Structure 1
Amino acid sequence: MITPPETLARVQTVCIALVALVTVVAAMQLAKGLLAPVALGLVVAIIAAPGMRLLARLGIPRAVSASISLVCVGAVTVLLIAGLGPIVMDLIAQVPRIEDEIRWWVIEASRAIRGLETMQTEIAERLAKEGDAVEDAMPTLLDALWVAPNFAAQLLTFAGTFFFFTLTQNEIYGTFKKQSEALRHADKAVSHYFLTVTAINGGLGLAVFAAMTLIGVPNPILWATAAFILNFVLYLGPVLLLLALGVVGISEFGGAYSLLPGLSYLLLNMTEAQFVTPTLVGQRLQLNPLVVFLAILFGLWLWGPIGGIISLPMLVWLIAYLAHRPQPQPQPDTDLAPTQA
């Protein structure tokens, strides 16, 4: 059976596209030290675009507006690090405690199946290996000196990308005359989405703080901050916090009351996800859960934490752009058009 030339051409096109896709993804991963801060700078600049438009309406020159925006982004970053740093460190400090609780459950379950002495020996050996692994994982002064220039370079790349894109955004979009409106609409969609979701997550954090305070969970501000931060990472973040609150509830309380912290957070999160977010964000920006989940996983795999942060805004931008890009107009067939007398 002879394959038609059209089918062969189609198969060749698909194969070339797959090879090109794999090559591009591999190149993006290899160049993540450069591309990740560039992409983060573009995303933050798009989110900060409403502030730039406000400054422009006030008659402030664009170069001054870009400088003010960069200073504001830096100030907000410093304030977040200063304010959330101790809370995040406290949250990280809870991880060994949660691991100890999980390990204790595993030991209790294993005692019912295997001999106690064998389990004790294996656990002691495993703990010794984990201790060696922790010591090996601790960064040395040489490691810190090696990482510092790379971090400074990425920070400079981010700042430069943010400043120059903010400064020349009109000129950049002006070169794409037919696509300019769709590009600006996508930018507005990302800004609207991010600012609305930030407000929603802030409300969720306050609700979690009130619930944990009423239940009597230690350090409720810690769990409120964790709810605010982790809710930006859809699906994965809430699941991790739900598991952590479940462990804390069992370790702090007894009986059915130990399930109350996790159930309270689950109820608040479901209310936010099913009613608050769809109402405030709008159906036009609702995304397929599978697409969102895969986008976040891909971003984390590709560029680490930065990829996980920017994957959702980039997905929103792409969907909004594709929905509003101008469609090509079909050209009339002049051969079949009637001739004028």
Structure 2
Amino acid sequence: MSTASTKKPPEVRLPPKPDLELRLDKFAQLATIFLSLVGLLFVLKTGSFLLAPVSLAIVVGLMLAPVALRLEDIGLPPSLSAAAVVLIFVLVTGSIAAAIAAPLASWAARVPQIWNELQLQLQLTSFSEPLATIRSVREEIRNVTGEPNVTVSVQDGSPVESVAVLAPALLAQVLIFFASLYFFVATRHDTRLAILKMCSGRRIRWRAAHVFRDVEGLVSNYLLSIAIINIGLGVTVAVVLWLLNVPSAPLWGAIAGVLNFFIYIGPALMAVILLGVGLASFDGMPGILLPPLAYLALNAIEAQIVTPMTIGKRMTLNPFIIFLAVAFWLWIWGPVGGFIAIPALLILFALARNLIPGFPWGMPEERRRRLSRLP
């Protein structure tokens, strides 16, 4: 063999890129990421009709997956265990709704009386002076600007027409939710196996399997903890309102526990409801304000002390990140987004802890050692 044939080809070294070109490359990468995020926001916002009930079904399915697994352990096939889980969910939620709806209907008939009482209290208390001042300032502004008093008449459809328009869309979303819940629970094993088969290599397959395990465990533990906390809050609210001689105290405690699943929106709505209950039940502003103030105090203890110590400590989540996640999903999907905000955050953390090396909320040391021994 000749010496020439054994020589390696000469190395070709490209000149380094100038600083401007490097900066343009980084800018292009950032622009791509930004446009991808904008596209994702657009899809989430415009596709809320379909994506919101499907996402809610996945979260509820992750919570109920241990129940389906117990049923499968006793011999039920996945299709029947999924049907049983959906039936259990319908019975539980339907029972709660029926228990709340019956006494709530009698209070709904008192809404005009509560409204009249609110107007009377505003006139009798010091709130009348600020309201009169606001009216006088408004009239002065109109006189200075020369704006005429214009009466705007808005003709809305009748309540029957509004229900006829909204009912089909709501019914469709309910059907999408239950269908998604059933098929997700029934096919969760097949879906997991199909995704694992697409993973090439033992290491990637091992990571994907633990992502599924972490997602199901974290979401189930979170929702179970939240359910226990909300039950405790409902019982506490009912007892405190009963001690304050508020009528139908168990009803308001049950509603407080249910509404607390909808972060921020639920507590605000509950405070308004209790303000109306105070108007219908007590004379004088101190007695009227006592039920909502007592509830807000209990809710503040739950939100600022009990929940962060229970959920935040167990899940090792930053409270500021939790707040941002809740605010984002409330903006995207409203109350449904508020319900699935933290489960969605836990899913992202489960992905990050198994896929990103050095992630601060990373996998346990024992699991890391097992992964290092895989080819």
Give the TM-score normalised by the residue count of structure 2.
0.71
* Contact 2:256/2:270 (8 A) holds in 1: yes
Aligned position for 2:229:
200
- The one-letter code of the counterpart of 2:301 is T
Answer yes or no: is 1:140 the counterpart of 2:160: yes
Give the C-alpha shift of residue 8 in structure 1.
Answer: 1.3
- The one-letter code of the counterpart of 2:330 is L
* Contact 2:312/2:318 (8 A) holds in 1: no
Q: Deviations over 1:120-163 (max 9, x none)?
A: xxxxx99x97xx66x7264334x434434333332332222212
| Structure 2, gaps ≥5 residues long | 1-17, 141-148, 197-204, 359-367, 369-375
Aligned position for 2:254:
225
Residue among 304, 322, 327 paired with 2:334:
304
Give the C-alpha shift of residue 189 in structure 1.
Answer: 1.1
- The one-letter code of the counterpart of 2:85 is S
* Contact 2:312/2:319 (8 A) holds in 1: no
**CA distance in 2: counterparts of 1:295 and 1:325, whole angstroms:** 21
Report matched runs for 1:123-134 at 5 Å. Answer: none
- The one-letter code of the counterpart of 1:38 is V
**CA distance in 2: counterparts of 1:313 and 1:293, whole angstroms:** 13
Question: Structure 1 residues 3-12 or 283-292, which shifts more?
Answer: 283-292
Q: CA RMSD in A?
A: 3.6
Give the C-alpha shift of residue 244 in structure 1.
Answer: 5.3
Aligned position for 2:97:
81
Answer yes or no: is 1:16 the counterpart of 2:32: yes
**CA distance in 2: counterparts of 1:146 and 1:55, whole angstroms:** 40
Question: Structure 1 residues 277-286 or 223-232, which shifts more?
Answer: 277-286
Aligned position for 2:184:
165
State percent identity of aligned pairs: 32
Aligned position for 1:285:
315
The secondary structure found in structure 2 opposite 1:48 is helix
Aligned position for 2:14:
none
Give the C-alpha shift of residue 3 in structure 1.
Answer: 4.4
Answer yes or no: is 1:110 the counterpart of 2:110: no
Over alpha carbons, which structure has the higher Rg?
2
* Contact 1:278/1:286 (8 A) holds in 2: no
**CA distance in 2: counterparts of 1:159 and 1:240, whole angstroms:** 27
Residue among 188, 196, 214 paired with 1:185:
214
Asked which structure has the greater RCO (Cα within 8 Å, sep 6+), the reply is 1
Aligned position for 1:59:
75
The secondary structure found in structure 2 opposite 1:136 is coil
Aligned position for 1:335:
none
**CA distance in 1: counterparts of 2:111 and 2:277, whole angstroms:** 11
Give the TM-score normalised by the residue count of structure 1.
0.77
Closer, same or farther: CA 20–186 of 1 in aligned 2, 3 Å: same
Aligned position for 1:212:
241
Give the C-alpha shift of residue 196 in structure 1.
Answer: 1.6
Closer, same or farther: CA 302–326 of 1 in aligned 2, 3 Å: closer
**CA distance in 1: counterparts of 2:103 and 2:356, whole angstroms:** 47
**CA distance in 2: counterparts of 1:155 and 1:304, whole angstroms:** 16
Residue among 146, 151, 160 paired with 2:170:
151
| Structure 1, gaps ≥5 residues long | 120-124, 330-341
Q: Deviations over 1:254-274 (max 9, x none)?
A: 475555434432442343335
